[in-house]
Amino acid sequence: MNELIFQERIDSERKIEPKDWMPDDYRKHLIRQISQHAHSEVIGMQPEGNWISRAPSLRAKMILLAKVQDEAGHGLYLYSACETLGISREELVNQLHQEKAKYSSIFNYPTLSWADMGAIGWLVDGAAIVNQVSLQRTSYGPYSRGMIKICKEESFHQRQGYEIMAEMAKGTSEQKEMAQDALNRFWWPSIMMFGPHDADSPRTGNAMKWKIKRQTNDELRQSFIDKTVHQAEIIGLTIPDPELKWNEERGHYDFGEMNWDEFWNVVNGNGPCNKQRLDHHKKAHEEGRWVREAAKSYAQKQLKK
Amino acid sequence: MTDNSTIWEVFIQSKNGLAHKHAGNVHADDKEMALQNARDLYTRRNEGSCIWVVKSEHIVSSESEDGEAFFDPSNDKMYRHPTFYSMPDGSKHI
Amino acid sequence: MDLLKYTLRIADSSIILGQRLSSWCSKGPTLEEDIALSNLSLDLFGQANALLEYASELDGTKSADDFAFKRNEREFYNLQLTEQLNGHFGDTIVRHFFFSVYSFLFYSKLSNSKDETLAAIAAKSLKEIKYHLTHSKSWVVRLGDGTEESNKRIQKSLNNLWQFTGEFFEMDEIDQKMYKEGIGVNNSSLKSEWDKIVNTTLKQSNLIRPKDGYMQSGSKNGMHTEHLGHLLSEMQFLPRAYPDAKW
């Protein structure tokens, strides 16, 4: 009975709110998806944080710092949305540390040059935007509202990255080489952000039925590629895919096959920075324990006064 | 001691004369921290002139408009936050 | 030129402390505090930028970025406190508390400067610094009156950084000249208020004011601790490695 009412609600585009009845699987699916989204924002602070101290101008430094700060904020919005489903922040952090929860694989790649800041802003944030715009219409209320807020703030992130790439591409020959190199390293991981092909993605069925997801992996990936090819052409950089070609019949770009071995390796923990990212997060968490305990202890003392 | 902080709901008055609007929530241990965290998280783009913070556990919620059968009637609070339920000391995995 | 050097002294403390704080990104004890520390850092970079733009105007040839990225250690005039290592969260908070109390008092006076640009920058910075003061002060109190461990740790931070607090109140020839012209601040006049705020906070937090002893000095003439060199190597690397590049 509840299932019918629930599905009717979903079908009529009404939002599901925290206190509403929901199938256990819907709740579990959301916890997994929202928490992984949150973890991604937080872990994503590391590869970009890596270049804050070395930003080449005051303006670049302030913009990058503001961007990474936004990402922390997005993590917080998402943890909040996730907690409304009945799980605590502590549990979520534990799941991350125990590798029971994942985060977006793109952040397991190292940032090796300043141009990577451009590539990440342009491609990674660009891909995230495609995904997030779609998620604004997700069925779970708190998640949808979080996404709307995030999308409002995200637009400057992609522009920041694209501007860096554009400037470097028309700068000195060393700068142009640096920018092209960053694009070469981040292109494939970026399109892999959209996940496996629809046919290889077992959870897509429920996600679409419950309107958690509004578009499939392949649909979103295609949308991103179509937008980005032209952007690369304008600034004079080459996307490292020899099979990239406009298909007049489909009205979309055809593109080469992704390296699925690499994809699954990185997803399963065998990527260049997996260990480093998690160790960093664990270390910060451990080293901050005495601070958190002090704050709690102080607060408790105030209540007793 | 659990590593969880208290959750506070945040209400922001974006301009003088307007009503406070619910912006979301923050974790904090004391009220000064709650206000500061709310400011840092929700008014980075100058979205506010006045901030209210209230511990989530103090908020009382009305019932869902769909009537008795469809919602979780076990409490009248806003969320399913587990921190609202006090667990016996020493209990684990719950 | 005296006004230029005076301006650089203020700018340099902001940029160096901003640089230190920015390293906390993704390392904060909570995600909330991570954002807070980045906020403090951004404020300081904003202040530094405004001051370096003014320095650029006064100089006539160098840009704000030139001042930030092309001067060497002996040409920086930041207070030595600002270049000290982040250490643990307590060290960072004490460094920030000491600096914010001073900065609050300094900018309060500087907002009345006869130099319109400095007065305007000071007035704007004062709004931000008030928050820095509240924030760092709250944490001193929480950590001092938190657990036994936090009290021990932050007491140590206070003891270690105390030797850098003498520099706040020094007056050299340039300071004297600027003060006489109604442009600059009488730093030594700030001490009694600084002491009052610090003493009250420490008392409230179960903490002991360190005894005065040897005080570090020399930043007004580009004398620094060994930390500054490393900080600048990292900060200035890209513009120095690619001198012809525009970013």
Task: Tell me the per-residue pLDDT of A153-185, one tens digit each, with 9 for 90 and over.
Answer: 887 899 899 999 999 999 999 999 999 999 999
Percentage of residues in chain A having pLDDT higher than 90 = 80
Percentage of residues in chain A having pLDDT higher than 70 = 100
Q: Would you state the pLDDT for residue A156?
A: 85
Per-residue pLDDT of A120-130, as tens digits, reads 999 999 999 99
Paired residues of B55 in beta bridges: B8
Q: Would you state the pLDDT for residue A240?
A: 97
In degrees, to the nearest 5, what angle opens at C-alpha A268 toward C-alphas A262 and A274?
85
| Residues C113 and C125: beta-carbon distance below 8 Å | no
3-state class (DSSP) for residue A53 = coil
Least confident span in A88-102, A138-152, A252-266, B61-75: B61-75
Q: Which two tokens mark A91?
A: 């549990």
C142 contacts in chain B (CB < 8 Å): 29-30, 33
Helices C116-144 and A289-304: angle between axes, nearest 10 degrees: 80
Q: Would you state the pLDDT for residue C154?
A: 98
The H or E element that residue C196 is part of is helix C191-204
**Interface check B21 vs A, CB under 8 A:** no
pLDDT at B77 over 70: no
Q: Would you state the pLDDT for residue C181?
A: 97
Of residues A149 and C74, the one with the higher pLDDT is C74
pLDDT at B49 over 80: no
The minimum CA-CA distance between C236 and chain A, rounded to whole Å, is 7
Q: What is the mean pLDDT of residues A107-112?
A: 97
pLDDT at B81 over 60: no
Quickly state the pLDDT bin for A304 (edges 50, 70, 90): confident
In degrees, to the nearest 5, what angle opens at C-alpha A10 toward C-alphas A207 and A217?
25
Q: Would you state the pLDDT for residue B83?
A: 43
Q: Would you state the pLDDT for residue B88?
A: 44
Minimal-distance CA residue of chain C relative to A278: C26
pLDDT at B71 over 70: no
Q: Would you state the pLDDT for residue B92?
A: 43
| Residues A232 and A183: beta-carbon distance below 8 Å | yes
Q: How far apart are the C-alpha atoms of A77 and A89, rounded to whole Å?
A: 12
Minimal-distance CA residue of chain A relative to C237: A54
Q: How far apart are the C-alpha atoms of A179 and C34, rounded to whole Å?
A: 30
Q: Would you state the pLDDT for residue B64?
A: 61
Quickly state the pLDDT bin for A277 (edges 50, 70, 90): very high
Are C146 and A295 inside 8 Å of each other by CB? yes
pLDDT at A75 over 90: yes
pLDDT at A200 over 70: yes
In degrees, to the nearest 5, what angle opens at C-alpha C71 toward C-alphas C65 and C72?
145
Q: What is the mean pLDDT of residues A125-147?
A: 92
Count other C-beta atoms under 10 Å from residue A250's C-beta: 9
Residues sharing a CB contact under 8 Å with residue A24, sequence separation 6 or more, in sequence order: none
pTM reported for the whole predicted model: 0.93
Q: How far apart are the C-alpha atoms of A263 and A273, rounded to whole Å?
A: 14
pLDDT at B66 over 60: no
User: Within chain C, what is the greatest distance between any pair of CA atoms?
Assistant: 55
Paired residues of B27 in beta bridges: B7
- For residue A76, give the nearest of A38, A129, A34, A128 by alpha carbon: A38
Q: How far apart are the C-alpha atoms of A232 and A225, rounded to whole Å?
A: 10
Q: Which two tokens mark C216?
A: 């570090």
Q: Which two tokens mark A180?
A: 């092209």
The minimum CA-CA distance between C131 and chain B, rounded to whole Å, is 9
Q: What is the mean pLDDT of residues B5-17?
A: 90
Q: Using only the alpha carbons of chain C, give its radius of gyration.
A: 18
Of the CA atoms within 13 Å of residue A130, those in its CB half-sphere come to 23
- For residue A152, give the nearest of C176, B42, C142 by alpha carbon: B42
Quickly state the pLDDT bin for B15 (edges 50, 70, 90): confident
Quickly state the pLDDT bin for A305 (edges 50, 70, 90): confident
Quickly state the pLDDT bin for B93 (edges 50, 70, 90): very low
Q: What is the dihedral of CA B24, B27, B30, B32, to 10 degrees?
A: -50
Q: Give the CA distances from residue C9 to residues C55, C79, C167, C184, in Å, rounded to whole numbers and listed in that order.
A: 10, 8, 12, 12
Q: How far apart are the C-alpha atoms of A7 and A44, rounded to whole Å?
A: 35
| Residues A161 and A128: beta-carbon distance below 8 Å | no
User: Which residue ranges in chain C fall short of pLDDT 50?
Assistant: none
**Interface check B3 vs A, CB under 8 A:** yes
Quickly state the pLDDT bin for B4 (edges 50, 70, 90): confident
**Interface check A2 vs B, CB under 8 A:** yes
pLDDT at B27 over 60: yes
| Residues A140 and A16: beta-carbon distance below 8 Å | yes
In degrees, to the nearest 5, what angle opens at C-alpha A128 toward C-alphas A81 and C238?
115
Phi and psi based region of residue C88 (left: phi greater than 0; alpha: psi -120 to 50; beta: remaining): beta
**Interface check A12 vs B, CB under 8 A:** no
- Residue A44 phi, psi (nearest 5): -60, -20
Q: Would you state the pLDDT for residue B79?
A: 62
- Scan for tokens 């923990």, then name that residue: A269
| Residues C238 and A60: beta-carbon distance below 8 Å | no
